[in-house]
Structure 1
Amino acid sequence: MSHQYHHYIPRFLLRNFAIDKYERIFYEVNIAQQQYESRKKAELLQIYDRKKDKLGISLIANTYGYWDMYKDLNNTDVMHVEEKLSKLEGSVAITIKKILKASQEKNKVVLLRKYLEDLRKFLFVMNYRNNHRWFQFTGDNFDFITRSMVNDFMQQQNLQRPEEVWLQNIREILDTPHWEVKDNMKIFKIDRDDYNQRMVECFLIIWQAGENDEFIVTSNGFGIFEGVSGNMFGSPFGFAYHTFYVLSPKLVLVLCPSHFRKEVGETELLYKCFGGQRSIFENVPHPAAIPKHVGRVKPTSFSESSNKPKLNITDPIDLKSHLFDAVLKSNGIETRWNDEFTFSFVKIDSATVHLVNIILLNEVGPDLVLTFLSHPNLYKTIVKYNKHYKDSVKKDFTNLKKKLRTELNRTHKDDLHLRRKIPENSTFTWNFREIN
């Protein structure tokens, strides 16, 4: 039986961090050699492997994945889940490419509802298939209450092992329309509720780093959140104020509860529910997408006994997702696949970029694999991390900091040495490229 290496961070995202996106080298002018080197660099990442305590490079093809993650031995086509994932990724890759291109040329991007729903589904799958969640099911690593729920679900669905629950969840999510995932009983309840809370009831914003700042990527970084965490009734509990999905060194998608929308303005109520714990990003702009609906139907009014408000159709829709359909229909609007949503790129300052990176770093485990674009910006991130957290809670990145300092000093010395050796009429060029 053949084996396949399955990525939990797809290659089309990793290529945004490829070495050829940021290079500082001397080379002799040779077009054929340049083309070969360009292809070679496009498949390499700069990484830090915490387990090996090693700073180096890695092939994209061999990074952030496991063998046969999606193999379904209970199906005649054992790779059918991987094939479904490939179709979703193909659609989303085009959408993300559009977002990246727009971010380099203008201050907004327009996305159609159909592709936006695919993007949301993809974001959930990205979080759901990361190494932590996968090992939770393959290693039966649950708290007592969750394990009992998993066992009951396996009995109901005639499944033999927890990892079959994980695989069935992904398959059903891929096969189910976005708005119906929350009602699909073949998906484990905790995961159905999680999907609904984040992918349906949260709104999406796009943050953009400045010229001298960069986001990083970590093994479990997709879906890491800032908010409230603790234990309730003996089980882990968390409520996300902001959930992060890094697309590139310059862009991160952020999902937020509708309380943060200025049209709703209920952040104080939200904070009160969680003991007054405030978001560290509360002062960062949260502009919701502006919709343009193409469908019109005959308006229907709410009943007189209902306290549900009627929305002015000039306002952005999606304020309270559980009222979504009723609010739209009451204003004579029918959702269509080609409804347009205009997203602004929110330019954030260095402090906010570092806070996002700090949250990613503080959730890493001993098996961290960290991807970055440039050594200087990663060094800045580590320095900021060490200043932000107290010694009692922060992770130890002392060795990484030393390695980065050594690398930066070596690069600086090599640059000076090579510059001095260039003859006046040489065939060498100085090449410096950086992502915008």
Structure 2
Amino acid sequence: MVKNLKTQYHHYIPQFILKTFDDNFSLNVSDYFATIPDLFVVTPIPDGSVQADSGRKRKRTTRRRREDEAKDPKEQAKMEEPKKRTKVKEPKVKEPKEQAKMKEPKEQAKMEEPKKKSKVKEPKKKELKEQAKMEEPKKAKMREAIEQDEGGGANEQGEDGRANEQGEGGGANEQSQVADIEGESQSGGVKKENNSIRTTEDTKKPDYQIKVYHAASRTVSLNSVRRSYGVQDLYRDVSEENWMKFEILLSKMECTSSRFIREIWAGQEDLSLTRSQLTEMKKFLVIMTYRSNNRRDQYKNDRFSASTRQSILMHMRHKNIKRIQDVWFDNLKWIIETPADDIMEEYRKAIVYRAKMMMTFSMDEYQGPIHIAELVEFGNMCTNLMCIWQAEEGSEFILSEGCFGAWEGDGREPFHTFYIVSPRYAIILVNRLQPWNWATHLPFKSWFEGDIHANPETVYTKGPPPSNFTSDHFSPTDEFKYKRIVVPKEDVYFVNSIFLDARRESLTYKSNLSMYRSVQYYDMMKRWRPDLFKNGHDYSLLKRKLVADMGMS
């Protein structure tokens, strides 16, 4: 059981996805998957600070930790007993007393020689210290020269040096952060290994670190994955006390979905899902969209149109809910607990109710399990097509608070909904009518058209379907075979521009060059299409830092 349930850090982007943005994460390491024992979306707040693992290579700490936990003190004592017995039973060769006496003076002389040598070495240590003091002025001049060469980026580095993660204990200046990012930290002319992967003393688990751009301070720092892209006490305003059971159910769905996502990472050609697995995959993605700090704050601050608020108030009367913020959690827990087939059945009922209300102008209240607007949105998302996008070589996707569920559309209906699963890959839910150019008659067309949509190959359990088949021909074991669709750089930068414009507090990137090009593309698009990119954020300081980190003039 998790202690102190009301002091949790809840991630709205899964941790195993955040880890792919660590510079030390390698998609080619076959045993990496053994180091992800906790795919839970709930992370207990650590009691101790995070300390760097100085200069040691990554090891399979999770497996060793499990082995140590499995061993009781009694078992460890049993394991040590044979070792003690073997030492006692070792045969000893007895030498004649005369030979032993003859060897004693020689052995004593040999033992005394190292002591004499060590006494001679002692003054050399003092000389080395004095020599180091003499070289300090030279090193200071070298540092000043380096700072002068960096030019315009000096002020920004000073700001970044003060931007450390809260609650992590201990600080690191900007030079050490940049060195960790580029792997070029040196001491005394000796190159050190990149030690951005850390371990916590309380859990002994690898602590991955990612680059985070903070919009408020306009600085970049290395942040722990455990304390990034989440919110403390997500359910602090919820009346429900036993919310942890819903998080456990969600974590099980996350584990199921993560298997397919890891297959995408590994580059496997066979990317197959059964119909039931695909339904659970879509359900998890949509839940993570709804289970976000943005959506919770919308209910907390009552940010709704007049018609939507009236619908919510009717639902509150029907469900006897007193506070509007409790509607958010009431919807969330029903979606998590209810099987996907039952949700879709209720979704069809809601669609029929809406059509009847529009045709007959009926004022009857919808008395469903959750608010009708959320139910219809959930059902529409689950009926969308799923694609797997692979960024073209030389480009990467970035992260923001809304990257796990951000969408592109005309303001009423989303055409594409994005779920970034690594710097290289993204899962896209495409409007089911988009491949047939449903939106061509509207003033706003989707930016993403052409060959970046592909329906999966379907293998029906009951055989090839007839021309006039119905849903009766479907089976939970029907198989959908997906292919990775290589997306041009321009489309990748456009997706990143959506995140750059919609970000609230943070951004994360892995490649400095790809991030620089994404910001350049965003600057161009916000001038060309201000109707699409209305916020028009300024990233000039971030661009200067990226140039400095890449060593460009």
Q: TM-score range by the shorter chain?
A: 0.7 to 0.9
C-alpha deviation, 1:183, in angstroms: 4.1
C-alpha deviation, 1:46, in angstroms: 0.6
CA distance in 2, matches of 1:170, 1:72: 14
Letter in 2 for 1:371: T
Match of 2:253 among 75, 84, 88: 88
Alignment of 1:36-115 (within 5 A): 38-39=197-198, 43-70=208-235, 74-75=239-240, 77-101=242-266, 104-106=267-269, 109-115=271-277
User: Is residue 279 from structure 1 mapped to residue 458 from structure 2 by the alignment?
Assistant: no
Match of 2:184, SS?
Answer: strand
Letter in 2 for 1:246: I
Structure whose alpha-carbon radius of gyration is higher = 2
Alignment of 1:197-212 (within 5 A): 197-200=380-383, 202-212=384-394
Alignment-derived partner of residue 327 in structure 1: 470
C-alpha deviation, 1:182, in angstroms: 3.8
CA distance in 1, matches of 2:408, 2:546: 32
Tell me the TM-score normalised to structure 1 length.
Answer: 0.75
Letter in 1 for 2:246: V
Identity between Structure 1 and Structure 2 (%): 25
After superposition, the C-alpha distances for 1:168-199 in whole angstroms (9 at most, x for unaligned) are: 11111111222321444212110110011121
User: Is residue 191 from structure 1 mapped to residue 330 from structure 2 by the alignment?
Assistant: no
C-alpha deviation, 1:143, in angstroms: 1.7
Match of 1:377, SS?
Answer: helix
Match of 1:69, SS?
Answer: coil
Alignment-derived partner of residue 526 in structure 2: 389
Match of 2:242, SS?
Answer: coil
Letter in 2 for 1:193: V
Unaligned runs of 5+ in 2: 27-180, 200-205, 347-367
Letter in 2 for 1:289: P
Letter in 2 for 1:15: K
Contact map agreement 1:7 1:64 (CA 8 A) in 2: yes
Alignment-derived partner of residue 467 in structure 2: 311
Alignment-derived partner of residue 25 in structure 2: 21
Alignment-derived partner of residue 7 in structure 2: 3
Structure 1 residues 345, 187: closer, same or farther in 2, change over 3 A? Answer: same
User: Is residue 340 from structure 1 mapped to residue 505 from structure 2 by the alignment?
Assistant: no
Greater relative contact order (CA < 8 Å, ≥ 6 in sequence): 1
C-alpha deviation, 1:389, in angstroms: 2.0
Contact map agreement 1:131 1:220 (CA 8 A) in 2: no
Alignment-derived partner of residue 508 in structure 2: 371
After superposition, the C-alpha distances for 1:262-313 in whole angstroms (9 at most, x for unaligned) are: xxxx31x4322x34x322112243111111122469x9xxxxxxxxxx637x
CA distance in 1, matches of 2:496, 2:319: 40
Tell me the TM-score normalised to structure 2 length.
Answer: 0.60
User: Is residue 362 from structure 1 mapped to residue 362 from structure 2 by the alignment?
Assistant: no
Structure 1 residues 334, 239: closer, same or farther in 2, change over 3 A? Answer: closer
Contact map agreement 1:18 1:42 (CA 8 A) in 2: no
User: Is residue 294 from structure 1 mapped to residue 450 from structure 2 by the alignment?
Assistant: no
Structure 1 residues 35, 51: closer, same or farther in 2, change over 3 A? Answer: closer
Structure 1 residues 161, 352: closer, same or farther in 2, change over 3 A? Answer: same
Match of 1:208, SS?
Answer: strand
CA distance in 1, matches of 2:186, 2:542: 29
Match of 1:259 among 433, 438, 447: 433
CA RMSD of aligned residues (A): 2.8
Count of matched residue pairs: 361
Structure 1 residues 120, 191: closer, same or farther in 2, change over 3 A? Answer: same
Relative to total residues, which structure has the larger helix share, 1 or 2? 2
Letter in 1 for 2:250: L
CA distance in 1, matches of 2:243, 2:455: 41
Relative to total residues, which structure has the larger strand share, 1 or 2? 1
User: Is residue 216 from structure 1 mapped to residue 385 from structure 2 by the alignment?
Assistant: no
Alignment-derived partner of residue 305 in structure 1: none
C-alpha deviation, 1:27, in angstroms: 6.2
After superposition, the C-alpha distances for 1:5-37 in whole angstroms (9 at most, x for unaligned) are: 1111121111121232385313689xxx96975
CA distance in 2, matches of 1:362, 1:73: 31
Unaligned runs of 5+ in 1: 230-237, 300-309, 313-325, 414-436
Match of 1:142, SS?
Answer: coil
Contact map agreement 2:196 2:208 (CA 8 A) in 1: no
CA distance in 2, matches of 1:43, 1:288: 36
Alignment-derived partner of residue 320 in structure 2: 158
After superposition, the C-alpha distances for 1:391-423 in whole angstroms (9 at most, x for unaligned) are: 75544443x33333234325528xxxxxxxxxx
Contact map agreement 1:226 1:242 (CA 8 A) in 2: yes
Match of 1:386, SS?
Answer: helix
Alignment-derived partner of residue 422 in structure 2: 248
